[in-house]
């Protein structure tokens, strides 16, 4: 029998969890927009053409911020194409994903949609084919009240009030050779700095995210971060991280251990930021925006076979299975473990494209397996993340050693008087007997123990079987004084919700 222990103390805090840790991402890619969030003519569409069945599921996730419009797409994006009368909008060859972009849905429509989704907009500017001028103009269009060319143009387009978009990304993955307008760190650092200056001169209240590396595996990592921050440190608030994992070689023990790599990635970026902070004798701390993260590999082969220049073809439509949900749970725990520095994150993406929500165009919408750990963390993981002192047996794989079977963290929600323990049992054969010592919390009682488990690691939800993998709350955790005991099913995601007795 595998036994593990987690000790938490309400005074041993990591940091306040910024609600924007539970952000997501909508790119003009595949069916994320067309057939995803927007489908006029669908039986659930509202007068704006937004699918309300999808909106309801987005609301279940309580997504506080959504990044838009890319991704690789943004590096060829002319924002002016996407505003104004729809009939006059230009159709464009979209070079990042080799499709036709009709621009029927654009920036203003996305702002409208975000309001209905109870979400803020995280807007990215094009630093691939464009630069400083387009960047300042879109901030003026979006945020300036009135009395200038672009703010008056917004008003003419029917939006009297400024959009007040607070968070802006300075381009996307500019270190990647696949990026339209790919740059060296020096080239990007310079243009990001100049764009940052004029964007903030246009609206001093905005916050900016500079591009970090596209993944831990980039040959320029972490020199890229150091060079970019050398240029931009005083002008941006966040540095981005992106990371996707796959299990193409069907090595699930290694796959489930990837979140330990994510820990190291975050810690290396933190160290690089702090090195530049020291070099600049700065008092400012750089925060991290993990604005693309997920599992991504299932759709790679089918995507290679797609014909180019289609409108909204199915692209990156990963069908997620149970083990993917477990890694997504571990990745969420990894970010919570660094809640003092990771202040924003975007599950990439939200609908159809490597997404927790899938739709059939003209048909139903359903929740993929990864929907559940993301929803649980977003709904119950608000408050203060506590240091998880974990004692667990470990395993080794060829690639990653010292992998604890137990992955876990606790979040203390003082407002609600609750503590929530998130835990993954990485053991594929055995249940794990967990003991959580809540020490300083005093008497607690169990609210519920939610479990996501499956008899098949490869089980997935589909239109025909939308609830094949779904959580239940019959987990069986017990509380005695300040001690919680629970048997965590093999290969399971667990949410143990506790009420603190006053």
Q: Which residues are catalytic?
A: 173, 292
One of 18, 27, 104, 407 touching ligand AHR (CB under 6 A): 27
**Residue 460 in contact with residue 319, Cβ under 8 Å?**
yes
CB count in 10 Å sphere of residue 91: 12
Residue 241 touching ligand AHR (CB under 6 A) = no
Tokens of 183: 């740059």
Tokens of 55: 């909106």
- Which element (helix H / strand E) includes 323? helix 322-336
Q: Using the 8-state DSSP alphabet, how is residue 142 labeled? A: H
Q: Of the two residues 27 and 418, which places its CB atom closer to ligand AHR in the complex?
A: 27
CB of 393 to ligand AHR, least distance (A): 36
Residue 101 touching ligand AHR (CB under 6 A) = no
One of 82, 108, 126, 172 touching ligand AHR (CB under 6 A): 172
Residue 324 touching ligand AHR (CB under 6 A) = no
List the x/- string, 128-167, binding to ligand AHR by CB under 6 A: ----------------------------------------
Residue 173 touching ligand AHR (CB under 6 A) = yes
Residue 292 touching ligand AHR (CB under 6 A) = yes
One of 82, 167, 334, 349 touching ligand AHR (CB under 6 A): 349
Segment interacting with ligand AHR, rule: CB under 6 A, options 65-73, 116-124, 306-314, 437-445:
65-73
One of 30, 71, 356, 471 touching ligand AHR (CB under 6 A): 71
What is the total residue count of the chain? 502
Residue 64 touching ligand AHR (CB under 6 A) = no
Residue 72 touching ligand AHR (CB under 6 A) = yes
CB of 71 to ligand AHR, least distance (A): 3
By beta-carbon distance, which residue lies closest to ligand AHR? 71
Residue 348 touching ligand AHR (CB under 6 A) = yes
**Residue 390 in contact with residue 8, Cβ under 8 Å?**
no
CB of 229 to ligand AHR, least distance (A): 20
Burial of 283: CB neighbours in 10 Å, binned 0-12, 13-18, 19+? exposed
Total residues in contact with ligand AHR, by rule CB under 6 A: 10
Q: Which of 241, 235, 243, 242 is nearest to 276 (CA)?
A: 235
Q: Which of 258, 286, 419, 336 is nearest to 22 (CA)?
A: 336
**Residue 437 in contact with residue 6, Cβ under 8 Å?**
yes
**Residue 63 in contact with residue 23, Cβ under 8 Å?**
yes
Burial of 253: CB neighbours in 10 Å, binned 0-12, 13-18, 19+? middle
Backbone CA torsion sign across 257, 261, 263, 264: positive
Site residues, ligand AHR (CB under 6 A): 27, 70-72, 172-173, 214, 292, 348-349
């Amino acid at each position: 029998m595998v036994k593990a222990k987690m000790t938490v103390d309400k005074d041993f805090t990591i940091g306040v969890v910024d609600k924007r840790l539970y952000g997501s991402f909508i790119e003009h890619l595949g069916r994320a927009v067309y057939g995803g969030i927007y489908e006029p003519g669908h039986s659930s569409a509202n007068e704006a053409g937004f699918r309300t069945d999808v909106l309801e599921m987005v609301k279940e996730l309580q997504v506080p911020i959504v990044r838009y419009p890319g991704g690789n797409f943004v590096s060829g994006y002319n924002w002016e194409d996407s505003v104004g009368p729809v009939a006059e909008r230009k159709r464009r060859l979209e070079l990042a994903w080799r499709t036709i972009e009709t621009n029927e849905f654009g920036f203003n429509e996305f702002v409208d949609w975000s309001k209905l989704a109870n979400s803020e907009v995280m807007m990215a500017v094009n630093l691939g084919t464009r630069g400083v001028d387009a960047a300042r103009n879109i901030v003026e269009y979006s945020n300036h009240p009135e009395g200038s060319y672009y703010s008056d143009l917004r008003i003419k387009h029917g939006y009297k009030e400024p959009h007040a978009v607070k968070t802006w990304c300075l381009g996307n993955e500019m270190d990647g050779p696949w990026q339209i307008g790919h740059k060296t760190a020096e080239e990007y650092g310079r243009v990001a700095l100049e764009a940052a200056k004029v964007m903030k001169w246009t609206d001093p209240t905005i916050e900016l995210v500079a591009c970090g590396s596209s993944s831990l595996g980039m040959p320029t990592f972490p020199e890229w971060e150091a060079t970019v921050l050398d240029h931009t440190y005083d002008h941006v608030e966040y540095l981005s991280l992106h990371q996707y994992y796959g299990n193409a070689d069907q090595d699930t023990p290694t796959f489930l251990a990837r979140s330990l790599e994510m820990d190291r990635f975050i810690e290396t970026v933190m160290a690089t930021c702090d090195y530049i902070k020291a070099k600049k004798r700065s008092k400012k701390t750089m925060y991290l925006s993990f604005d693309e993260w997920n599992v991504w590999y299932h759709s790679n082969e089918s995507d290679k076979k797609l014909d180019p220049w289609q409108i909204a073809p199915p692209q990156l439509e990963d069908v997620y299975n149970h083990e993917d949900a477990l890694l997504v749970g571990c990745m969420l725990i990894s970010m919570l473990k660094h809640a003092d520095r990771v202040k924003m994150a975007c599950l990439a993406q939200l609908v159809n494209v490597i997404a927790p929500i899938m739709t059939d165009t003209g048909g139903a919408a359903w929740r993929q397996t990864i929907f559940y750990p993301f929803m649980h963390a977003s709904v119950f993981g608000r408050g203060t993340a506590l240091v998880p002192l974990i004692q667990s047996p470990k395993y080794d794989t060829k690639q990653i050693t010292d992998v604890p079977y137990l992955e876990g963290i606790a979040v203390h929600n003082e407002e609600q008087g609750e503590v929530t323990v998130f835990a993954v049992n990485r053991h594929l054969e055995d249940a794990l007997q967990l003991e959580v010592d809540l020490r300083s919390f005093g008497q607690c009682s169990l609210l519920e123990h939610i479990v996501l488990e499956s008899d098949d690691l490869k089980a997935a939800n589909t239109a025909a079987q939308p609830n094949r993998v779904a959580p239940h709350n019959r987990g069986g955790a017990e509380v005695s004084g300040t001690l919680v005991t629970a048997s965590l099913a093999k290969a399971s995601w667990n949410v143990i919700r506790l009420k603190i007795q006053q």
